Amino acid sequence: MGRTARLLGDVRNDSAAERALIQLSGVEKVYQSGRLEYRALRGVDLAIARGDLAAIVGPSGSGKSTLLNIMTGIDRPTAGQVVVGGERLDEMSEEELAVWRGENVGIVFQFFQLMPTLTALENAMLPLDFGPHQPLSERREIASSNLERVGLGDKGDHLPMELSGGEQQRVAIARALARAPEILIADEPTGNLDTDTARQILELLTSLNRQGTTVVYVSHDTGLAAEAHRVVTLCDGRVIDTGD
C-alpha cells in the first residue's frame, strides 16, 4: 500500500477522527534495554484539530516528549495507530517518514540546535538546502522572509553566539517554518529562557497559529500552557485530561 493511500483505516468511521489533523488511537510506546522495559505511553487516544494551539503538560517522565516524537514520526509506536493529515505514520518506512516530515512538520527544540558556524540566515535555510532543488536566491528569500516573521530581519548575518537565547530560539522557529509546514511541534521551546523571553516566544507561536499553523507544544510552565486553546495533561504515560 502506498503512503498516500494510508488513510484513517479503522478510525475513519469516527467523525471526530475525520475532523482531526492529528489522531492517535491506542498508542503505546515501550522502550527496552536488555531485560528491562519502560512503558512511556500507555494506550493514548488523542485528537488535535486543524488550527489548534495545544499545550501538553505533565510531570517529568510522563511521556510528553515521547508523544511529540510519535506525532512527528521521529519515534514509532509499539502499538496503536498514528494518523496525521490523513496518513498512517505507523505504517511508513523510515525513508517515507523522512520525506513526509520534511514536507509537513516543523520542529522546534528546547536547546535551539543551531549550527554554530552558520549565520542566522544560513541556519534558517537549512531545510531548504536538503529539500527539493531551488535556486539559492529563492532559498535566501524564503529564509529572509521567515526571519522577518520572527522579528529578526536585521540579524541574518549574525552567528548564534552573537544572539541572545530568545533570538536563537526565534532563528530555530524560522528554520522550522522553512518549508511552510502545516504543523509546528515544539518541545519545551521556552524551557531554556527567562520568563519575559519565554512569554515573547509563546506570543510568537500564538501569532503563527493565528496565521493558520497548527501548533502543539510541551511546557513545564502552567501559566504559559494556559495560554493555549487547550491543555492536554499526561501522567504516567496516559492522557488524563484532553483539554476539550
Domains (ranges, CATH) in the chain? Answer: 51-76+99-241 (3.40.50.300)
The mean per-residue pLDDT over the stretch 223-239 comes to 94
Angle value at C-alpha 49, between 168 and 83, nearest 5 degrees: 90
Give the model confidence (pLDDT) of 8-58 as tens digits.
444 444 444 457 999 999 999 999 988 899 999 999 999 999 999 999 999
Q: What is the pLDDT of residue 18?
A: 56
Among residues 106, 74, 89, the alpha carbon closest in space to that of 25 is found at 89
Give the model confidence (pLDDT) of 86-108 as tens digits.
999 999 999 999 999 999 999 99
**Neighbouring-strand partners of residue 32:** 37
Residue 221 binned pLDDT confidence (cut-offs 50, 70, 90): confident
Q: Of all residues in the chain, what percent carry a pLDDT higher than 70?
A: 93
Helix crossing, 136-149 with 165-176: angle to 10°?
Answer: 130
Q: Which residues contact 59 (CB under 8 A, 6 or more apart)?
A: 235
pTM of the predicted model as reported, rounded to 2 decimal places: 0.88
